[in-house]
Amino acid sequence: MSGDNVTVASNVLGTIGTVLWCIQLIPQIWYNWRRKTTDGFPAIMMLLWATFSIPLQIQPQMFGFFSLVNWGQILYYNQSVFYLLFETLVLWLTLQRSSALVVFCCLGGVEALLILTLRIPYERGVTWPDLVVGIVAAILLVAGMLPPYFELWKRDGRVIGINWLFLSTDTFGGLFSLFALAAQGKFDILAGILYIIVVVLESGIYASHIIWRIRYRELRREAKMTGKSIDDLLSLQQSHTTVRDLESGVLDDSGETLPQEPTEHRPQPTLNVEREKTNEKC
């Protein structure tokens, strides 16, 4: 972005977007710590975002640091496969649950390497390596928005583990950054596409949860009346469904689906046969 293209409105909007994208992960960190679980919050999302932060020019350190903190919380609280994998790789360390620290150091080394290697061609007027790194970063950021949809699919569209303040702050950060691009003299197509994709994907998360609340409004009303949690009622509903399937023979005792025998269909008499029978009676 050249200085001639930057307007006052673009500068203000861009600053707001940058600030929001610096602090958007803080509510999620607090949310994870308060709940002592990160169920429903994908680890791969934070790892991809931390990797994405390497090539950024504005707020890479804060964004990458907070992403790794969230990722470390997921490893710590959920004891996921990623935790076991990275604990094996860093077994020689004396500190437990230090996978996030190791990755943080590795990403810092990669960032320093990129600075040293890309500075030389950039000073000579060769800018395509920077463009390639920016494109890879954009792909990683968008890819990080896809794992939450897998979590939504597992829970029938319900959002679990994602803090709404974090998500809304991230969405507004993308919107203000997009408005800043529109307010400047020349529109950055690559950055604009990135911001639009982020806003659209996050809007899908909002819509999914709203649809879930509409579909399960009766169950939510029952939970409010009985004083039970919605999770308890969902588990009870699932157990009742399993019992009905067992009684009807759809499932066996181990929960496996039983093969259904094909229903024997007898051929129905055709219209001509009916007419022949009528003629015989006459």
* Of 98 and 192, more confident: 192
CA distance to 244, 253, 255, 276, per residue, from 249 (Å): 8, 10, 11, 43
The pLDDT, as a whole number, for residue 61 is: 64
DSSP state of 155: T
Residue 1 binned pLDDT confidence (cut-offs 50, 70, 90): very low
Q: What is the rounded distance in angstroms from the CA atom of residue 231 to the CA atom of residue 68? A: 29
| Residue (of 13, 8, 25) closest to 169 by Cα position | 25
Q: Which own/partner pairs from 216-221 qualify as long-range (CB within 8 Å, at least 24 positions apart)? A: 216/158
CA distance to 73, 77, 231, per residue, from 36 (Å): 9, 6, 17
Report the 10 Å Cβ neighbour count for 215. Answer: 13
The pLDDT, as a whole number, for residue 103 is: 62
Please check the confidence at residue 273 and state whether its pLDDT lies above 50: no
* Of 225 and 96, more confident: 225
Residue 39 binned pLDDT confidence (cut-offs 50, 70, 90): confident
Average pLDDT over residues 175-202: 88
Q: What is the rounded distance in angstroms from the CA atom of residue 257 to the CA atom of residue 249? A: 9
The pLDDT, as a whole number, for residue 28 is: 93
The pLDDT, as a whole number, for residue 94 is: 43
Q: In terms of residues, how long is the chain?
A: 282
